[in-house]
Structures are given as C-alpha cells and as structure tokens.
Structure 1
Amino acid sequence: MISGWLVFVGAAAVFTLQARSCQTNEFTLSDGQCCPTCNEGMKVTEDCMIDSGTRCGPCETGTFMNKPSGLKYCFPCTVCHLGDGLFVKEECKKTSDTVCEALTGYFCRSYSDDTGCSLADKHSSCKSGQRIKEAGTTRNDTVCEDCRQGYFSSDGVNCTLWTNT
C-alpha cells in the first residue's frame, strides 16, 4: 500500500513539472496553467481560463510592448531630455520605444540599437595652443592636438605660423 502511494506522488510531481513547461508563445500562471501571450503593442487584461483565451488590450499612450508577452502592463516610453543634449529621433509607438539622438554640439556617450542615445555630453573645446584635429560628431567627441613647433592658436581652432614683424 505504501509503495502505491509513493508511485502516485511521483506521478503527480511529474505532471506538475510538465504543466509548468509552457510553449514559447505562452506564459505560466501562478497555478501552473499555460496561457497564450498577447502580441506586440498589447498587454494582458485578463488571464486565460479553461474555457477562454487570454484577453489582451492595447498599451496606453506613453507606453509600449516590443515583444509578445504575458505581462499585465506595458513599458514606459523613454523621454529624450533637451537639457541632457538629446532630442526625439523616432517617437514612441505601441510596439517600440522612443529613439533619442544627440543634439548638434553634443556627442552620444551611451548608445543602444533599441533606444538610440541615452546619455550625451557637449563636445570638448580645444585650448589655446591646440587645434581641432577631428570635429565632434553625434557619436564622437572633438579630438584636439597641440600645434606644431613654430605655430600658435589663440582660439583653439586652427594653428597659425608665427611671423616676425
């Protein structure tokens, strides 16, 4: 009788583990039931039941969902702050986040293919006695170099030959 009980418990444990192994287009409820995921741009408004599928609703304005999921919320859209040297390159949509880019005069310090630039700094200025070797871009800071012997730069832009007058 005891060995029959152990076999039954073992079978129940195997069944539970199998029920928790949902397919890639499904998510697991707390009771182990598998439910279909909602599509991009949607969130779960009601979990599935034995006799009905998952109910989905659109992401609210200012939020997005960029992949099928079983989440009951959408992600907040990234904000591109002008004061941080960023502007909106692509607006947030229900299926994709905002893409930010560095303003003119700034370069991107932190870049992601999904959200673009998330951290920008002003281009460096070259000092007196230096010139701009490479102008700053949205991806790179200004590169400065010292003027060669016999040349000077008071503005940090170009080097000029010393002259005797």
Structure 2
Amino acid sequence: MCFRAIHSSQRKQSRERRQACEEYTYEGRTCCKCGAGLKLKEHCSTPRTESECDLCEDNTFSSVPNSLTTCEPCRPCSQLANLEAATNCTRTSDTVCKCKDHHYCISDTDPCTECRPCTVCDPGVGVKVKCSPTNNTICNEPQEILHIAYLIVLDQCISVFLCINSFLSPHFISTVNENLKRYIPDIAPEIGWTDMRNIAMGSNIPIGIIESLELDYRQDSQERTIRLLGVWAEAEGREASRKLIQRLRKSSKKGKAERVMEILSVGNSDSSHPPAEVVNID
C-alpha cells in the first residue's frame, strides 16, 4: 500500500513537470528545459521528457528555465565603485547592489554600476536638497544664503534699529556713537576677526549674521571685521565704545583695549567732532 502511494505521488509530480515543460530541440528531439536554479547535465533521451539537470553551484544562478550547461555568475558589488549588496545572490536570482550610505549613483544603467560620495555643504550654507541613492546633495546658492540670513535677522532683530538692511547698507552704522562710527575702519584691524566674533557672540548677535559675513567676505577678514563691528556697535548704541573696551579687557586683550582707546582719543581731540561719551570705562 505504501509503495503504491509513493509511486502515485511520483507519477503526479512527473505529470505536473511535463505540463509545465518549456521545450527546446536537440538533435531532432523535443526536450524540457531545466527550471530556474538549475543547469543542464544531460539532454533528454526520448521526446518531450525532462532533461537531466543539476543545481547551480555557489555564486551562480539561473533565473529562468534554460538548456544551458552552466549557470550565470553572480554579480559582485564592487567596493571600488562604492556598492554593497541590497539582496544577496541565490540560485534563482542575481545579486541586487545598492550605493553605500551617503553615496549616490552616477551611472545611467539599471542596476547602478558606480556610486560617489555625497557632497557636504560648507558650514553655514545649508542643504537645499538632501542626498539620496539617485541624486547628489544640492547646496543653497549664495543668493539663497543671503535670503536665509535676512529671514534670521528679521526674526531675531535686537532692536527696531538692527535689521539686515542696515548691516548690508553703506550706512549700516547710522545710530552708533559718532566717534566710534568714524573710526570703525581704524579700530576693526586692531581687534581682528577672531576677537570681534567672540565679542559679537557674547552680545547675542544672531549667528546668522556672523555666518553670512564669513561667507560674503571669506577672503577679506578685515572687511568682515569692519562689518561685524558696525553691526555690534549699532546694537549697543551710545554705550558701544565703553562696552567695547570693557569686553577687550575682560577677555585679557588689554593691549588691544589700549590701542582702541588711543584711536578714540584722537577723535576726542578733533575739534570738528564732538567728544565721545565713552571715555570713562570704569
């Protein structure tokens, strides 16, 4: 009884394979192809019977019925091309490769054959479009950065007098103490960008203004120092000269504080300008 059941099952499987047979012709005989994941070992001996097949070896595959004596090699995901396996190769399907993290595809083929590292935008520039497996990063254009800086400053105005239009305008120091206003171009080189930046940040000048100046005058530290000193001085108003000297002294920049005082003293001695109201710094 058991033998009959096994024999019946084998006949059923054989009938199902014949019904699913994809044919090919060999020496006048019509044979059934090997299924996916298999390769041909021996052609059929009688028409419309199955050929003898073997499993594909490791690292090879066949994805469709075939009469080939070898399976196709699995595709390697080249590290030199910045690829890695998304799906490993099996006997019935090839490897599916993808770009490594933080890389994007540069080939016009599908699947991708080469990836490159995503562009990293400069500090303060910002990302317009994030990097993805199909496209590189797109950074903000200088005009867009300036627009963003405008929005930051307009949102964080220190007072009704401190807005982005004023620090980019030729008359950006219109409300500062008259004596300091006149000598900003002389004072700024004495302070230097690093110390001026620290003073501004310690006075809650929006970081957006500072980064925008760094971008606009990246090759001219003196000009960006002049600009930032003007922004800071306008924010401080009549107390600007006194606070500037105080902050320099507190940061152990007494030499610079003395040189600033000397410059302001020249202004005090100029009869064509009223004396500054900031001589007393104690």
TM-score of the aligned structures, taking structure 2 as reference length: 0.42
Question: Whole-Å Cα distance in 2 between the matches of residues 142 and 32 of structure 1?
Answer: 60
Secondary structure in 1 aligned to 2:93? coil
Partner of residue 34, structure 1: 30
- Does residue 105 (structure 1) correspond to residue 102 (structure 2)? The answer is yes
Which structure has more relative contact order (CA 8 Å, sep 6+)? It is: 1
Deviations 1:84-107 (A, max 9, x none): 111111111000111111111211
Partner of residue 45, structure 2: 49
Secondary structure in 2 aligned to 1:43? strand
1:117 corresponds, among 91, 109, 112, to 112
Question: Whole-Å Cα distance in 2 between the matches of residues 127 and 144 of structure 1?
Answer: 8
- Does residue 88 (structure 1) correspond to residue 85 (structure 2)? The answer is yes
Greater shift, 96-105 or 124-133, is seen at: 124-133
CA contact (8 A) 2:87 2:97 kept: yes
Greater shift, 80-89 or 64-73, is seen at: 80-89
Percent sequence identity is 28
Question: Whole-Å Cα distance in 2 between the matches of residues 105 and 150 of structure 1?
Answer: 24
CA contact (8 A) 2:21 2:32 kept: no
Could you tell me how far 1:126 is from its partner in structure 2? 4.2
Runs of 5+ unmatched residues, structure 2: 1-19, 149-207, 214-226, 230-282
Partner of residue 11, structure 1: none
Partner of residue 69, structure 1: 66
Could you tell me how far 1:63 is from its partner in structure 2? 0.1
CA contact (8 A) 1:65 1:96 kept: yes
CA contact (8 A) 1:106 1:123 kept: yes
For 1:135, the aligned partner's letter is: K
For 2:32, the aligned partner's letter is: P
**Larger Cα-atom Rg:** 2
For 2:62, the aligned partner's letter is: M
Could you tell me how far 1:83 is from its partner in structure 2? 2.4
CA contact (8 A) 2:81 2:113 kept: no
CA contact (8 A) 1:91 1:98 kept: yes
Question: Whole-Å Cα distance in 2 between the matches of residues 149 and 75 of structure 1?
Answer: 51
Could you tell me how far 1:32 is from its partner in structure 2? 3.8
Count residues with an aligned counterpart.
135
1:161 corresponds, among 198, 208, 212, to 212
The structure where helix makes up a greater share of residues is 2
Partner of residue 131, structure 2: 136
Partner of residue 220, structure 2: none
Question: Whole-Å Cα distance in 1 between the matches of residues 145 and 127 of structure 2?
Answer: 17
Could you tell me how far 1:50 is from its partner in structure 2? 2.1
Could you tell me how far 1:149 is from its partner in structure 2? 7.1
Question: Whole-Å Cα distance in 2 between the matches of residues 57 and 76 of structure 1?
Answer: 15
Compared CA separation, residues 47 and 106, structure 1 to 2 (3 A): same
The structure where strand makes up a greater share of residues is 1
RMSD: 3.2
Compared CA separation, residues 131 and 57, structure 1 to 2 (3 A): same
Runs of 5+ unmatched residues, structure 1: 1-22, 153-157
Partner of residue 16, structure 1: none
